[in-house]
Amino acid sequence: MQSPLSAAQLELSDTDRARLEKADGLVVEKYAEANLPTKHGKFRIVAFVNNLDFKEHIAIVNGDVAGKEAVPVRVHSECLTGDVFGSLKCDCGEQLDRALDVVADSELGIILYMRQEGRGIGLANKVKAYSLQDDGMDTVEANLHLGFDDDLRDYSVAAEMLRLLGPKSIELITNNPRKVEGLEAEGVEITERRALKVLPNPHNVRYLETKRKKSGHLL
Ligand SMILES: Nc1nc2c(ncn2[C@@H]2O[C@H](COP(=O)(O)OP(=O)(O)OP(=O)(O)O)[C@@H](O)[C@H]2O)c(=O)[nH]1
Ligand SMILES: [Zn+2]
């Protein structure tokens, strides 16, 4: 009988990891797929593996998207505090909820849930950035103070995930023009940008204003 796997082995098997590490160039693969009924609607969930960041990026898919034009797509960056704990410091949780509704209510749609927490700096560093914001910095100043660029996200893995799922073109649900440019630079055909409106609250109004003024978000 096989011995049980330890927690450290759970993410990827050694053989899978070694194979991905040896591969030349970017490799993104579908790893597993299943049904996922949710309060928003019924989806398929697809887990991917890749040899760039080795993170477990996810697609939530409604319908048979392969070969279809103008499929609604949200490329959502992980925000544990907003997506899971209902943080009011940002607009992520509300955006994710709305995007899930849009995708569930459309004939077809995809949410890519990218594990790019904190615009790529990770959760622990985002909490550091929040601590600097408690002392008066804005979201961009806090990142720069910690020695990071204001946005470290790479869109090559997301683009490859879309290629594997197979829509011919997409309508991207975002307020961030840099996301549109980043995906287009990776060869994704975007027929339209669809805005994602959220209501500001007293805790995120400065954050939203900084995103509009410093990061070019169309809010
Ligand atoms: N470093 C850092 N990351 C943050 C902060 N607040 C939210 N985030 C992260 O920002 C990411 C979301 O990016 P946003 O700039 O809000 O939005 P976007 O994804 O670029 O654009 P939309 O598609 O319109 O949502 C998530 O990964 C959050 O964890 C912050 O103060 N500092
Ligand atoms: Zn957030």
Mean pLDDT in residue range 16-44: 94
Q: Which atom of ligand 1 is nearest to the CA of 133?
A: 31
The protein residue with its alpha carbon nearest to ligand 1, atom 12, reads 77
Q: Identify the band that residue 195 occupies on the pLDDT scale cut at 50, 70 and 90.
A: very high
Q: Please state whether beta strands 170-173 and 71-77 pair in parallel, antiparallel, or not at all (unpaired).
A: parallel
- Which amino acids bring their CB within 6 angstroms of ligand 1? 77-79, 90, 92, 95, 116-119, 121, 126, 129, 139, 143, 174-176, 179, 196, 211, 217
Ligand located closest to 90 CA? 2
pLDDT one-digit tens code per residue, 121-148: 999 999 999 999 999 999 999 999 999 9
Quick one: DSSP state of residue 7?
G
Residue type for position 71 = V
Does residue 9 carry a pLDDT above 60?
Answer: no
Q: Which of 79, 115, 205 to mutate to test the pocket of ligand 1 (most atoms within 8 A of CB)?
A: 79
What is the interface pTM, i.e. ipTM, of the complex?
A: 0.97
Q: Distance between CA 87 and CA 127 in Å, rounded?
A: 12
49 vs 13, more confident = 49
Ligand located closest to 177 CA? 1
Q: Distance between CA 218 and CA 161 in Å, rounded?
A: 26
Q: Identify the band that residue 38 occupies on the pLDDT scale cut at 50, 70 and 90.
A: very high
Does residue 47 carry a pLDDT above 70?
Answer: yes
Does residue 8 carry a pLDDT above 60?
Answer: no
Q: Identify the band that residue 198 occupies on the pLDDT scale cut at 50, 70 and 90.
A: confident
- In this predicted structure, what is the pLDDT of residue 216? 86
N-to-C CA span, the chain:
57
Are 159 and 188 within 8 A, CB to CB? yes
The protein residue with its alpha carbon nearest to ligand 1, atom 11, reads 119
Are 204 and 94 within 8 A, CB to CB? no
165 vs 218, more confident = 165
Q: Across all residues in the chain, what is the average pLDDT?
A: 93
21 vs 78, more confident = 78
- As a whole-number percent, the residues of the chain with pLDDT over 70 amount to 95
Q: How far is ligand 1, taken at its centre, from the CA of residue 119, in Å?
A: 5
pTM for this structure?
Answer: 0.94
Q: Identify the band that residue 78 occupies on the pLDDT scale cut at 50, 70 and 90.
A: very high
Residue 171 assigned ligand-binding role: no
- In this predicted structure, what is the pLDDT of residue 4? 61
Q: How far is ligand 1, taken at its centre, from the CA of residue 98, in Å?
A: 16
Does residue 12 carry a pLDDT above 90?
Answer: no
Ligand located closest to 155 CA? 1
Structural domains of the chain sorted by starting position, each given as residue range(s) with its CATH number in brackets = 27-116+153-214 (3.40.50.10990)
175 vs 197, more confident = 175
Residue 119 assigned ligand-binding role: yes
Q: Identify the band that residue 149 occupies on the pLDDT scale cut at 50, 70 and 90.
A: very high
The protein residue with its alpha carbon nearest to ligand 1, atom 8, reads 118
Residue 205 assigned ligand-binding role: no
Does residue 115 carry a pLDDT above 90?
Answer: yes
